[in-house]
Amino acid sequence: MGPTLALLHAFPLSSELWEPQLEGLKDVARVLAVDMRGFGETPLGEPPYDLEDLARDLRDLLDALGVDRCVLGGLSMGGYVALAFQRLFGDRLRGLVLADTRAAADAPAARERRYQTIRQVETHGVEPLASTMPGTLLSAGAPEAMREQVKAWIASADPRAIAAAQRAMAERPDSTDRLASIQVPTLVVVGDEDALSPPDEAARMASMLSHGRLVRIPHAGHLSSLENPAAFNHALRDFLGASAP
Ligand code: MLT
């Protein structure tokens, strides 16, 4: 059995996002797909929380499972938490995978949009988000069935979990200046058609890493692991072979 690969999902999804990796990477790693607070099977607890609390949750889970070090991958919001984990518990990492994510904090307008989303879910529930978000998460060429699947995932999310996650993301610190000090191999992955964390942003992030490499996933938007699992898993297999023992 290879290293433990812990995977953190995007907002407002759950560990179900990682089905293609649980199946496709099980021969090279012990793959752990984690539900973050309020999503999937993990209780919300008492919000508010910040992204460092989610990193501590993962530390507790690794402790409970007796895992000393892992390769940690996060997609989008999962990537923000992976960076928080790196900041707090960098010595627990063998490698880092930052997929369709960014190191920068929100610009003021983006932060304000998150507070608008909070007001929207508090007033209208998750339906408006479930209708509009699949269009921004997936590429134009994504199959209809995948669009429906993502919509159903969002529709099943708890509005209180959505609000808490948006607040935590809005208040996250900027990690850009820390990229150069990350000492483990770091893979930056981005869907060629990611409109939310675009390839230019990923390339900038990879160029600031001391031990970074960038892989672009063709025919994929923001949820690159879901849209093109063959290319995504291929990149991870290559990377796992190279990550620190
Ligand atoms: C995600 O996919 O997790 C979100 O796009 C992250 C964000 O809202 O910044």
- The pLDDT of residue 133 is 97
Tell me how far the alpha carbon of residue 201 lies from the centroid of ligand 1, in angstroms.
Answer: 14
CA–CA distance, 156 with 31 (Å, rounded to integer): 24
- The pLDDT of residue 178 is 96
Q: Could you tell me if the CB of 39 is within 6 A of ligand 1?
A: no
Phi, psi at 206, each rounded to 5°? -60, -35
CA–CA distance, 109 with 216 (Å, rounded to integer): 28
- The pLDDT of residue 244 is 47
Tell me how far the alpha carbon of residue 66 lies from the centroid of ligand 1, in angstroms.
Answer: 30
Q: Could you tell me if the CB of 196 is within 6 A of ligand 1?
A: yes
| Alpha helices (H) along the chain | 19-24, 51-65, 77-89, 108-124, 127-137, 144-155, 159-170, 199-208, 224-227, 229-242
Q: Which atom of ligand 1 is nearest to the CA of 197?
A: 5
Q: Is 175 helix (H, G, I), strand (E, B) or coil?
A: coil
Residue type, 6: A
Q: Could you tell me if the CB of 77 is within 6 A of ligand 1?
A: yes
- The pLDDT of residue 242 is 58
CA-angle at 19, arms to 175 and 205, nearest 5° = 20
- The pLDDT of residue 241 is 85
Residue type, 158: D
Contact 191, 222 (CB under 8 A): yes
Q: What is the pLDDT along the chain (245 residues), one digit of tens a residue?
A: 789 999 999 999 999 999 999 999 999 999 999 999 999 999 999 999 999 999 999 999 999 999 999 999 999 999 999 999 999 999 999 999 999 999 999 999 999 999 999 999 999 999 999 999 999 999 999 999 999 999 999 999 999 999 999 999 999 999 999 999 999 999 999 999 999 999 999 999 999 999 999 999 999 999 999 999 999 999 999 999 855 44
Tell me how far the alpha carbon of residue 9 lies from the centroid of ligand 1, in angstroms.
Answer: 10
- The pLDDT of residue 243 is 54
Q: Could you tell me if the CB of 11 is within 6 A of ligand 1?
A: yes
Q: Could you tell me if the CB of 10 is within 6 A of ligand 1?
A: yes
Q: Could you tell me if the CB of 76 is within 6 A of ligand 1?
A: yes
CA–CA distance, 210 with 179 (Å, rounded to integer): 7
Tell me how far the alpha carbon of residue 10 lies from the centroid of ligand 1, in angstroms.
Answer: 6
- The pLDDT of residue 44 is 98
Sign for the CA dihedral angle at 67, 55, 174, 193 comes to positive
DSSP readout, 35-61? PPTTSTTS---SS---HHHHHHHHHHH
Tell me how far the alpha carbon of residue 2 lies from the centroid of ligand 1, in angstroms.
Answer: 29
Q: Best mutation site among 8, 77, 172 for ligand 1, i.e. most ligand atoms within 8 A of its Cβ?
A: 77
Sign for the CA dihedral angle at 85, 86, 92, 97 comes to positive
Q: Which atom of ligand 1 is nearest to the CA of 11?
A: 3
